[in-house]
Copies of this chain bind each other. A is one copy, B any other.
Amino acid sequence: MQRYFTKLSEVPADYQLEPQIFHHAIRVMRAKEGQMFELVDQQQRVKLMKLTRVFANQAFAKTLKTSLPQVELPVRVTILAGLIKNSKPDLLIQKATELGAAKIIFFNADFSVAQWKEQKVAKKLVRLQKIAQGAAEQSHRTQVPLINFVTELKKFDFSNYQFKMAAYEESAKQGERQNLSLIIQKVKQELTRQQTKPALVAVFGPEGGLSMAEVAYLQRQGCCLSGLGPRIMRAETAPWYLLAALSFALELG
């Protein structure tokens, strides 16, 4: 069933479809009176909605049922990724959304070949946020990942994160194979005495990897350097590996 995200935190009894939802449901999908869709409110509640009245420029729906499915990762994961080339940010965002990321933030890394001009950042973020929203709808999430950009690593505030790691290829090459597992063990322990969802930030380099200076800075911020297995992954693939590993370890079995 088609799923949309509303900007409302409470859906009124006689809900008027918001412009973007109206456009997609009525104009693109040609939904008629009586048809149903799902609406996720800002409190991550999923409302089964039925279209009651459809007009040329507006439409209304009512709530049939409200549920609160648990489809979000038990840890809030921020992917902090060095800016990558061409349409790679699109792909990273689409897949990281399917795999459960809470935030995806790009930064100008020392080895970033790609550069975003300052006057274009806002426009790019609007486009990328739409990709995240579409992927969140398709993967039936109840939360749209927040997409953002910081001009440099030092502008990112690590103090809000309980768990901090950086994927470091050199660690993997030197046979480092324990740290990710140790971090996930700690997250698991935290979940047993959980009040609020713990937050984890994971830093990834661009195509050329993280520089020595960046690695040193990240260590000073408390990031644990972790290998992600013995194969070398491209810049966009590594965050997916992490998200899948977290899901497997925390959500399955």
Interface residues of A (CB under 8 A from B): 69-71, 95, 98-100, 138-141, 177-178, 180-182, 184, 227-234, 237, 240-241, 244-245, 247-249, 251-253
Given that A234-B138, A237-B95 are contacting pairs, would A182 and B244 also be in contact in the complex, using a CB cutoff of 8 Å? no
A140 is contacted by which of B231, B237, B240, B244 (Cβ under 8 Å)?
B231
> What's the number of copies of this chain in the assembled complex?
2
In the complex, A232→B95 CA distance in Å?
11
Q: List 8 A-B contacts (CB under 8 A).
A: A70-B230, A98-B234, A98-B237, A229-B251, A237-B240, A240-B241, A245-B245, A245-B247
Q: How far is the CB of A37 from chain B (nearest CB, A)?
A: 16
The 10 A-B residue pairs with the shortest CB-CB distance, nearest first, are A181-B253, A244-B244, A245-B248, A71-B230, A241-B244, A229-B247, A139-B232, A139-B231, A140-B232, A98-B233
In the complex, A252→B245 CA distance in Å?
10
A252 is contacted by which of B100, B140, B180, B247 (Cβ under 8 Å)?
B180
Given that A177-B251, A244-B241, A251-B177 are contacting pairs, would A233 and B139 also be in contact in the complex, using a CB cutoff of 8 Å? yes
Given contacts A98-B233, A100-B231, A240-B240, 11 further A-B contacts (CB under 8 A): A69-B230, A95-B240, A139-B231, A180-B253, A181-B248, A184-B253, A229-B248, A240-B241, A240-B244, A244-B248, A245-B248
For A229, what are the chain B residues with a Cβ–Cβ distance below 8 Å?
A: 100, 247-248, 251-252
Interface of A is mostly: loop
The interface centre, meaning the residue of A237, A241, A252 with most chain B CB atoms within 10 A of its CB, is: A252
Q: How far is the CB of A110 from chain B (nearest CB, A)?
A: 21
Is B99 within 8 A of A237, CB to CB? yes
In the complex, A119→B230 CA distance in Å?
39
Q: How far is the CB of A56 from chain B (nearest CB, A)?
A: 33
Is B98 within 8 A of A138, CB to CB? no
In the complex, A57→B182 CA distance in Å?
53
A180 is contacted by which of B141, B181, B245, B248 (Cβ under 8 Å)?
B248
